[in-house]
Chains A and B, each alone.
Chain A
Amino acid sequence: MTATSIAFFLFGAITLWGGLVVTITIAIKNDKKDSN
């Protein structure tokens, strides 16, 4: 793969998969707060 296509793959992956990980982490933390 070229450097440009790798850069755009990373742009998409970090935004989408990173966004998913962050939002799920927030949900788990808040659920723990609720249960305490």
Chain B
Amino acid sequence: MAKKRDQWSSKAGFIFAAVGSAVGLGNIWRYPYVLYSNGGGAFLIPYFFAILTAGIPLMILEYGLGHKFRGSPPLAFAKANKKWEWIGWWPSINSFIILTYYTLILSWAINYLYFSLTQVWGTDTNSFFFKSFLKTTSGPFSLGGIVWPVFIGITIIWLLNWFICYKGVSGGIEKVNKVLLPALVIIMIIIVIRGITLPGASLGLNKLFTPDWSKVLDAKVWIAAYGQVFFSLSLAMGIMITYSSYLPKKTDINNTALITAFANSGFEFLSAIGVFAILGYMATSQGVGIDKVASQGIGLAFVAFPKVFTVMGGIGKLFGVLFFTCLVFAGLTSSISLVEASSSAIIDKSGKSRKKIVTLVCSAGYLISIVYSTGAGLYFLDIIDSFINSYGIVTVGLLEAITIGWLFGSHKIREHTNAISYYPIGKWWDVMIKFVTPAILIYMIAQNLIHDLSKPYGGYSTTALIIFGWGVIIIGIVFSIILTKTSWHEGSLSMESDKNTEVK
């Protein structure tokens, strides 16, 4: 018999968890630079367009799919058509792979949270991060030894992931998100308020918002907008399908998708203000232009910002603690969603208890993560992250749009979400799923392929890119097919499980 499915205790609990998943490190360290470098204020036009034509439609598709079929991605796709099960496994496996290196970044953030108290990074933050802290080796084939502070951080994060997911959907994930997400927003508001009152903040904000209209007609800027929206909303990772499968039967899915998208974008807009106000202060205090201090990703969080915190003096310690707490909270709520997306797929397939599967997934993930705590960890992260994002996730998004849009029939998902939502979506949604989203995703894959074939990513050797880059893509596909061949536990494919949910 099908087991009773876990459920959120309230709709608010689901929204907190979904927004917590979407709001991650990229919102804080990627979006501000994307906005600045792609036309400033003018970028908001393609960005809003991307939210409306791809972000929200895909979000409704994933919510609708998970809710209609009451299952993790493999179960949802298998219920739609047994032949499509492997399409559901791929995002679940990708989530697991991402998780193994996402915990590495969170480990750095935990370490830097501690370092903020003494600002041990000194004045040469670049050398401190790569040499003193990470003990980075010469390349991916030179492992070096285990970097113990990183190892300890990884251990802490995996223990937290395990404990939260072990406690279940409403008892663990929902409770944690209800605390961490508001805390994250409050801390970011404090950073923004203090940031905009720093001398030189207006310089950074002027650079951030002053429109460069010449970029609006550039195709690359539009692709950057679609890419930002697609990756930022945790789409095509199996997370939103999984989370929506825990919703009660009567849920306003259409409005909930809008709330998630606006909350995620609203947060990254807020963080862009904080980041560029601080960068404006940095540029002013050093007497240089914003372009000399603006950066993104690891460079922003672990090199540029620590330098700013040092320049700030005493208050820099407080800023450091607040900033790295933000990174830890934002990352933790996203990493537990990745654990859940991976675990729920195996729970659905095997019928084994959540506690057993979560323990199994976290143990396996932890063992793999140990490899990242070596001196070569940064290289593995860099290559695998690039390939998973450029090909793994984007291809899954494309497969989802084509399978549901063209083969299954997007109208079936639309009719399902409209039947349970207050405000129906029209046939325009079908057009977005069938034409606009696939066209954009195909263009993104083609662009990435052309770029990577003409110039090896990151200057790495072809061997390294084949093993760690294309290797993880192949692993994802092969394991998806293998797992599809295993048999479902009794009753799991039955649509009867729908009756187990009640309105709360």
CB closest residue in chain A, given B259: A23
Are B40 and A8 neighbours in the complex by a CB distance under 8 Å? yes
Contacts A20-B266, A26-B255; A31 near B205 (Cβ below 8 A): no
The A-contacting residues of B in range 40-73, CB under 8 angstroms, are 40-42, 44, 48
CB closest residue in chain A, given B263: A20
Partner of B422, one of A2, A11, A19, A26: A26
Are B262 and A23 neighbours in the complex by a CB distance under 8 Å? yes
Are A4 and B262 neighbours in the complex by a CB distance under 8 Å? no
Report the minimum CB–CB distance from A24 to chain B (whole Å): 6
Of B107-115, B207-215, B355-363, B424-432, the segment with at least 4 beta carbons within 8 Å of chain A is B207-215
Report the minimum CB–CB distance from B377 to chain A (whole Å): 35
Are A5 and B255 neighbours in the complex by a CB distance under 8 Å? no
Alpha-carbon separation in the docked complex, A22 to B4 (Å)? 35
Chain B, residues 179-205, CB within 8 Å of chain A (1/0): the string is 000000000000000000000001001
Instruction: Classify the secondary structure of A's interface with B.
Output: helix
Alpha-carbon separation in the docked complex, A27 to B254 (Å)? 10
Are B209 and A8 neighbours in the complex by a CB distance under 8 Å? yes
Chain A, residues 19-36, CB within 8 Å of chain B (1/0): the string is 110011011001100100
Chain A residues closer than 8 Å to B41, beta-carbon distance? 4-5, 7-9, 11-12
Partner of A27, one of B211, B255, B266: B255
Contacts A2-B210, A5-B210; A17 near B44 (Cβ below 8 A): no
Are A12 and B252 neighbours in the complex by a CB distance under 8 Å? no
Alpha-carbon separation in the docked complex, A6 to B480 (Å)? 49
CB closest residue in chain B, given A16: B266
Alpha-carbon separation in the docked complex, A4 to B44 (Å)? 14
Are A16 and B269 neighbours in the complex by a CB distance under 8 Å? yes
**B11 contacts chain A at the CB level, 8 A cutoff:** yes
Chain B residues closer than 8 Å to A16, beta-carbon distance? 262, 265-266, 269
Contacts A17-B266, A27-B11; A2 near B206 (Cβ below 8 A): yes
Contacts A11-B41, A27-B255; A1 near B265 (Cβ below 8 A): no
Report the minimum CB–CB distance from A15 to chain B (whole Å): 6
Q: How many residues of A contact B (CB 8 A)?
A: 23
CB closest residue in chain A, given B201: A1
**B322 contacts chain A at the CB level, 8 A cutoff:** no
Chain B residues closer than 8 Å to A6, beta-carbon distance? 209
Are A27 and B252 neighbours in the complex by a CB distance under 8 Å? yes
Report the minimum CB–CB distance from A28 to chain B (whole Å): 10
Chain B residues closer than 8 Å to A5, beta-carbon distance? 40-41, 205-206, 208-210
Contacts A23-B255, A30-B255; A9 near B266 (Cβ below 8 A): no
Partner of B262, one of A1, A7, A9, A19: A19
Chain B residues closer than 8 Å to A15, beta-carbon distance? 44, 48
**B311 contacts chain A at the CB level, 8 A cutoff:** no
Chain A residues closer than 8 Å to B40, beta-carbon distance? 5, 8
Partner of B269, one of A7, A13, A24: A13
CB closest residue in chain A, given B15: A27
The A-contacting residues of B in range 237-265, CB under 8 angstroms, are 250, 252, 255-256, 258-259, 262-263, 265
Chain B residues closer than 8 Å to A7, beta-carbon distance? 41
CB closest residue in chain A, given B42: A8
Are A24 and B259 neighbours in the complex by a CB distance under 8 Å? yes
Report the minimum CB–CB distance from A16 to chain B (whole Å): 4
Alpha-carbon separation in the docked complex, A31 to B41 (Å)? 36
Are B258 and A9 neighbours in the complex by a CB distance under 8 Å? no
Alpha-carbon separation in the docked complex, A9 to B42 (Å)? 11
Are B269 and A12 neighbours in the complex by a CB distance under 8 Å? yes
Chain B residues closer than 8 Å to A30, beta-carbon distance? 252, 255, 422
Chain B residues closer than 8 Å to A27, beta-carbon distance? 11, 252, 255-256, 259
Known: A8-B210, A12-B41. 11 other contacts (CB 8 A): A1-B202, A5-B206, A7-B41, A8-B42, A8-B209, A12-B269, A16-B269, A17-B269, A20-B263, A26-B422, A34-B250
The 6 A-B residue pairs with the shortest CB-CB distance, nearest first, are A8-B41, A5-B209, A20-B262, A19-B262, A8-B209, A16-B266
